[in-house]
Structures are given as structure tokens and as C-alpha cells.
Amino acid sequence: MTPTPPVRKPGVFVHSGAWYDGWETRRHNPEPFDWVVIRLGVASGKVEGVEIDTTFFNGNHAPEVAVEGCFGSNDEEIKHPSFKGWETILEKQDCGPSQRHAWALEKITDKAYTHVRLLMFPDGGIARFRLYGVAVPVFPQSIDDVFDLAAAVNGGVAVSCSDQHFGTKDNILLPGRGKDMGDGWETKRTRGEHVDWAIVKLGTSGEVDKIVIDTAHFRGNFPQKVQVFAGTFETEPSSRDSGWVEVLSPQKAGPDKEHKYGENVLQNVKGSVYSHMKLVIIPDGGVKRFRVFGRRRA
């Protein structure tokens, strides 16, 4: 699941044999297939496409593959070999050596999955495994529970931005605080009066309680100030849309820290329900994460 493309290191050996950038099982599997269970990186998701990459696996690649899915919360039960709740997502497919294979699913249903199981018949190697689809949030049962409305795992999507020269807007909705500046959103340097912005569609419309803007790892290139607008839109809004309402006035930002803004600073949030947020950085710079904590109202 490493996000970067596979690499090759000819002549490099480890305890188990030649080093390969991927998942390789031993030879002569007595079972019909080898398998790996993966918990999706979102609360749950509908799968629309599958990609399996065997780059650099030549002569030791998986001859055939398949993908199954299930919906559940008990990881220990699901990962056990005796678990019977698997449903077929991608039927058995031929898988050739050292190449990328991709399949768009012909029958896309409303079924969402929390876990998938990748099968290789009977054994071999796979460099990368990708699933493409749509995140489906699993919300708290109570509408009074507070959670991150903007998080990618809850269905939040960064839909547009003014610039993403050094780091993409999508990173600001990822879990955790990241490992370096590379997994944040960073715009190019500007000169003169300027602002940059990113628009986020929340995973569900909600009432905002708190906003967190994290500049982790951005020590000399953080924004001078941050500002946030909110709105309710049926379609994707533009940055100049008249429906935006300021919920956080420009605030001085600092390096490598979480900036937390609660009800004492936020405005126009109590009793208001929003579907989109616009993060503005003044005049430019980098942001690691953008969190919008609140209660669902949809």
C-alpha cells in the first residue's frame, strides 16, 4: 500500500531472499491461495475500481488474483482464516509479470465495505494494491456526538484550491499529524498582496464547535495568518461565491503547532449548519491538517 511507485534494488538480499518492493509469499503453497486482510483507510467505502501492480515481479509474480470485501468492526474476527463473511468484489483475474493491471467494476452497488481481502493464486508477489471508490462515513449514533466533520475517513473531500505547488490540498484531511512537510498542503511563494485558499466539502452537514489548523513541520514557511469561511451549497462552490460566511476572522499563525479555535473565537457557528468550509491562508505557505469538529445536522 506504499503510495510511491515500486523501486528495484538488484543484488540486494535479505534473510528471506532477494529484496522486492512489495508482498511476496513462499513457494509451493499447499492452500488454494495466499491472502492478506486490509482495513480500509476510511470508515467504509464503495469500491469502483481495482489496481494490482506486479512491477519487478517477473517469474515470481502472482499468476491470478481476486478481491473480497466485508463490513464489520471486529478486526480479530475478520482476519481469522475461518471468517465466512467475505463477498466477492473482483472475481479471479489473470495477472501477468512486471506490469500494472486495472479493472473498473461493471456492477457497482451501494454496498460499502470496511475490510478487503486480496487473494493471490496460488502464491507469488505483488508490488502494489490500490482500491478506487468513494468514502462512506460511519457516523456516531447520537447527533450530539462531536467528531471531525472534515476528515477524509468521514467522507470529507478537498474539492478545489488556489494553488498546490509543493503539496496537495487533499493532505490536509488525512489522519494524524504526518511525518514531514511533504504530506501537507503548501503553496508557492508570492510577492505583494495575496491569499491562497482551499475548499473542503464536509462528510456531512453539521454545526461547528471547534476548528483546528495544524502547521506541523512547517517552520519557516507557515502562513502569516489563517482565516475560515463556511457555507451551505448544493453544488461545488467557487471561492468567490456570495454564500460564504466568515466563521474565523484572520488569526496570526505560528510554526509547527496546532492552532485551536473554539466558541470564544468562532463566529456565526452556533445554530448554523454548513456543508462546506473554505480555509484561507494569508498570504501563502503551508498547512499540515485542517480539522472541523462538530455535530452532524443532516
- Using one digit for the tens of pLDDT, what is the confidence trace for 179-230? 999 999 999 999 999 999 999 999 999 999 999 999 999 999 999 999 999 9
Contact 295, 144 (CB under 8 A): yes
The model's pLDDT over 71-99, given as tens digits with 9 standing for 90+, comes to 999 999 999 999 999 999 999 999 999 99
Percentage of residues of the chain with pLDDT beyond 70: 100
The model's pLDDT over 8-47, given as tens digits with 9 standing for 90+, comes to 999 999 998 999 999 999 999 999 999 999 999 999 999 9
- Using CA atoms in the order 210, 211, 215, 220, what is the torsion angle rounded to 10 degrees? -110
Residues sharing a CB contact under 8 Å with residue 231, sequence separation 6 or more, in sequence order: 237, 241, 243, 244, 245, 274, 275, 276, 278
Task: For residues 57 and 286, give the distance between their C-alpha atoms in angstroms, rounded to a whole number.
Answer: 38
**What value does the mean pLDDT of the chain take?**
96
Task: For residues 180 and 124, give the distance between their C-alpha atoms in angstroms, rounded to a whole number.
Answer: 34
Instruction: For the chain, list the domains and their CATH numbers.
Output: 13-135 (2.60.120.260), 147-296 (2.60.120.260)
